């Protein structure tokens, strides 16, 4: 298993190299940086340079999760809902989302991001010819921007109609996106009507290039540590083992203000040990 951790676990805080050190101490070989300006301000050249310097000094790989929060909403809190939607019905909001993702991707000029994870749609979007067309356009634009920077494009399974495993494969097939991979989120696949993690692995197969590892109790997207919810992790590890080219497996865990960096290290170390058994 290619072990990775998302900085999402520190989302309430400004990302700094001490956080990165804590994640590496858990055994992470890759760190996925969650692009949110209050956390990782990709428009701050000095801040980006500091993070880039850390990656150059450490044998650790980097990936990027697209921004989903609007930087213009003012003071951020955990109660904010995702506001950036690449397939929004309103053209102006689609353009705003696209521009923000591109701003985040510009950090790849300094930080060696290997891939970016995209979210297509929100809970308000349904599967239709229109959302298919908008998804094709979004992927094409981001892919064209990311490729010269050496960044691969991935699309994530989500708990709504547009980004089910079947629909993501349809998007990739229609768009002839042979080089675009899928990020399978275990928590999303454990929610009502999503079919479960075993079915998701069976449908997506070798298109899975990254896995977001998080648990829940089958009712809402909680992003718990593996083993704290109802997911059968034997099915997850079996699904990962069946993929020809082992995917990057990212612990994407909810941010808790009371957790210290040292406690995150211990919990992530324990999670990797359990998953590797």
Q: Enumerate domains of the chain plus CATH numbers.
A: 2-275 (3.20.20.150)
Residue 187 confidence (pLDDT) above 90 = yes
Q: What is the pLDDT of residue 74?
A: 44
Q: What is the pLDDT of residue 155?
A: 98
Share of the chain above pLDDT 90, in %: 92
| Range 179-208 average pLDDT | 97
Going by C-alpha positions, the residue among 27, 75, 106 that lies closest to residue 268 is 27
Q: What is the pLDDT of residue 72?
A: 63
Residue 77 confidence (pLDDT) above 80 = no
Report pLDDT digits (tens) over 209-267.
999 999 999 999 999 999 999 999 999 999 999 999 999 999 999 999 889 999 999 99
Q: What is the pLDDT of residue 223?
A: 97
Q: What is the pLDDT of residue 126?
A: 96
pLDDT, averaged across the chain: 95
Share of the chain above pLDDT 70, in %: 96
Q: What is the pLDDT of residue 69?
A: 86
Question: CB neighbours (10 Å) of residue 75?
Answer: 6
Report pLDDT digits (tens) over 107-148.
999 999 999 999 999 988 999 999 999 999 999 999 999 999
Q: What is the pLDDT of residue 75?
A: 46
User: Is the whole model's pTM more than 0.85, yes or no?
Assistant: yes
CA–CA gap between residue 68 and residue 153 (Å, rounded): 16
CA–CA gap between residue 133 and residue 213 (Å, rounded): 29
Q: What is the pLDDT of residue 70?
A: 79
Q: What is the pLDDT of residue 134?
A: 98
Q: What is the pLDDT of residue 277?
A: 83
| Range 4-8 average pLDDT | 98
Residue 73 confidence (pLDDT) above 70 = no
CA–CA gap between residue 251 and residue 4 (Å, rounded): 6
């Amino acid at each position: 298993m290619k072990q990775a951790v998302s900085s999402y676990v520190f989302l309430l805080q400004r990302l700094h190299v001490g956080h990165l050190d804590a994640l590496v101490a858990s055994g992470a070989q890759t760190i996925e940086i969650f692009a949110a300006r209050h956390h990782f301000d990709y428009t701050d050249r000095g801040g980006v340079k500091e993070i880039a310097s850390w990656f150059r000094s450490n044998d650790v790989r980097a990936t990027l999760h697209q921004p989903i929060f609007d930087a213009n909403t003012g003071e951020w809190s955990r109660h904010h809902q995702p506001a950036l939607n690449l397939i929004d019905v309103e053209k102006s909001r689609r353009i705003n989302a696209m521009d923000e993702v591109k701003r985040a991707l510009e950090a790849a000029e300094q930080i060696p991001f290997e891939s970016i994870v995209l979210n297509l749609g929100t809970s308000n979007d349904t599967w239709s010819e229109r959302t298919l067309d908008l998804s094709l356009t979004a992927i094409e634009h981001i892919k064209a921007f990311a490729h010269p920077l050496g960044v691969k494009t991935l699309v994530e399974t989500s708990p709504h109609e547009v980004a089910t495993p079947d629909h993501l494969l349809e998007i990739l097939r229609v768009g002839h996106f042979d080089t675009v991979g899928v990020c399978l989120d275990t928590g999303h696949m454990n929610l009502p009507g999503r079919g479960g993690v075993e079915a998701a692995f069976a449908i997506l197969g070798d298109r899975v290039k990254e896995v977001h590892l998080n648990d829940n109790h089958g009712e809402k997207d909680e992003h718990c540590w593996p083993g704290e919810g109802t997911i059968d992790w034997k099915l997850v590890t079996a699904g990962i083992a069946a993929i020809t080219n082992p995917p990057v497996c990212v612990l994407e865990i909810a941010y808790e203000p009371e957790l210290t960096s040292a406690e995150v290290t211990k919990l992530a170390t324990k999670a990797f040990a359990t998953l590797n058994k």
